[in-house]
């Protein structure tokens, strides 16, 4: 039998490489390599939520900010080192919370299954469990993400609270998310807290007018100005001193992921400008009304949007690495 020409071997080698690098996420990725992984994540998240019911809101935001920059690769968890200023130092990320939850989970999993479960999967799984523990739908989450090795402050471009719906939609489009995803994911603002610095301009100097945002409900305006004094406008933003308010100030369920956020939007009681603008465009207003009238539809679509978010720009196969410490990139072998 004649030997195959060299070109055939090259083609087969390239084909093999493409197959190996085109690995997709899958359910229960760790079923043999670390069978207890998802149970460990859930147990530790449950413990933290029992101590602080605002943790799910922090995890959702942490996951979102991670996926929006370089994809869901846990790059937001990396600390600055030397002259490299990491993503977490960017202004939109200074109020992120939940790092300690991820650290604790990683420490435990490294004891059980060394260098097996990625920080990116830990963050995605912890967020999934936080959603369920705050009243949202529990969803089956494919895993197998790998960790990124780059984290740079200059890469951080997150849609801000003063964005218009159109501007936010353009930003979401860069990660292949659409208007329904935008409207649905903003429903996470049903839970947790917000720093006054993110919306104080609406209270005192909306769009440079020297007046409050005329679209804000007067009773909510009065409530928020008592929590967020005018002095906040004039001082340099200091996260350690900046007051916080509930994201849904009129809700009786500030830690429950329900459709109360959309009710507040429709009643012009939203805290953030972007949130309130959902009431002023036809399609987003229609979605908000649907979520208020059919809360189970919101829960189902929120879970779907979270799964879609968790697939953004993932590293798989031999891409990236499995960090031993979520705050640091692994040192090259031999160092």
Q: Can you give the pTM of this predicted structure?
A: 0.89
**Which pLDDT band, with edges at 50, 70 and 90, does 243 fall under?**
confident
| Dihedral angle computed from the Cα positions of residues 178, 24, 127 and 291, in that order, rounded to the nearest 10 degrees | 30
Task: For residue range 73-87, list pLDDT tens digits in order.
Answer: 999 999 999 999 999
How many helices and strands (H and E) does the chain possess? 14, 2
Q: Binding site: which residues?
A: 66, 69, 71, 73, 75, 87, 159, 189, 242, 253, 258
- pLDDT score at 14: 38
- pLDDT score at 261: 95
The C-alpha atoms of residue 168 and residue 161 are separated, in whole angstroms, by: 9
The C-alpha atoms of residue 126 and residue 95 are separated, in whole angstroms, by: 18
| Dihedral angle computed from the Cα positions of residues 71, 327, 133 and 44, in that order, rounded to the nearest 10 degrees | 140
Q: What tokens does 258 get?
A: 């329900």
Between CA 91 and CA 308, with CA 62 as vertex, the angle to 5 degrees is: 120
Burial class (CB in 10 A: 0-12, 13-18, 19+), 10: exposed
Which one from 28, 48, 63, 65 is the annotated catalytic residue? 65
The C-alpha atoms of residue 277 and residue 265 are separated, in whole angstroms, by: 8
Clarify whether 65 is annotated catalytic.
yes
Using a pLDDT cut of 90, give the percent of the chain over it: 83
- pLDDT score at 238: 61
Least confidently predicted of 16-30, 102-116, 133-147: 16-30
Task: For residue range 177-220, list pLDDT tens digits in order.
Answer: 999 999 999 999 999 999 998 999 999 999 999 999 999 999 99
- pLDDT score at 250: 87
**Which pLDDT band, with edges at 50, 70 and 90, does 330 fall under?**
very high
């Amino acid at each position: 039998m004649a030997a195959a020409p060299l070109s055939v071997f090259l083609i087969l080698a390239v084909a093999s490489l493409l197959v190996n690098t085109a690995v997709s996420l899958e359910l229960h990725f760790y079923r043999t390599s670390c069978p207890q992984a998802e149970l460990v994540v859930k147990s530790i998240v449950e413990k933290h939520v029992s101590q602080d019911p605002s943790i799910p809101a922090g995890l959702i935001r942490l996951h979102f900010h991670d996926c929006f920059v370089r994809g869901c690769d846990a790059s937001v968890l990396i600390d600055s080192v030397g002259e490299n200023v990491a993503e977490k130092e960017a202004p939109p990320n200074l109020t992120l919370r939940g790092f300690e939850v991820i650290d604790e989970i990683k420490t435990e999993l490294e004891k059980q299954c060394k260098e097996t479960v990625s920080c990116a999967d830990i963050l995605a799984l912890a967020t999934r469990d936080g959603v369920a523990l705050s009243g949202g739908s529990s969803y089956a989450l494919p895993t197998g993400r790998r960790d990124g090795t780059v984290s740079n402050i200059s890469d951080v471009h997150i849609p801000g609270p003063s964005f218009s719906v159109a501007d936010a939609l353009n930003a979401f489009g860069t990660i292949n998310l659409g208007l329904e995803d935008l409207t649905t994911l903003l429903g996470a603002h049903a839970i947790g807290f917000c720093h006054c610095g993110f919306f104080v301009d609406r209270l005192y100097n909306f769009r440079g007018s020297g007046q409050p945002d005329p679209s804000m409900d007067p009773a909510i305006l009065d409530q928020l100005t008592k929590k967020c004094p005018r002095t906040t406008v004039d001082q340099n933003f200091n996260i350690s001193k900046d007051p916080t308010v509930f994201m849904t100030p009129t809700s009786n369920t500030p830690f429950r992921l329900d459709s109360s956020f959309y009710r507040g939007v429709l009643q012009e009681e939203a805290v953030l400008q972007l949130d309130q603008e959902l009431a002023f465009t036809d399609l987003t207003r229609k979605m908000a009304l649907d979520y208020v009238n059919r809360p189970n539809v919101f829960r189902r679509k929120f879970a779907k949007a979270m799964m879609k978010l968790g697939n953004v720009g993932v590293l798989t196969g031999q891409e990236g690495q499995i960090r031993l410490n979520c705050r640091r990139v692994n040192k090259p072998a031999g160092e």
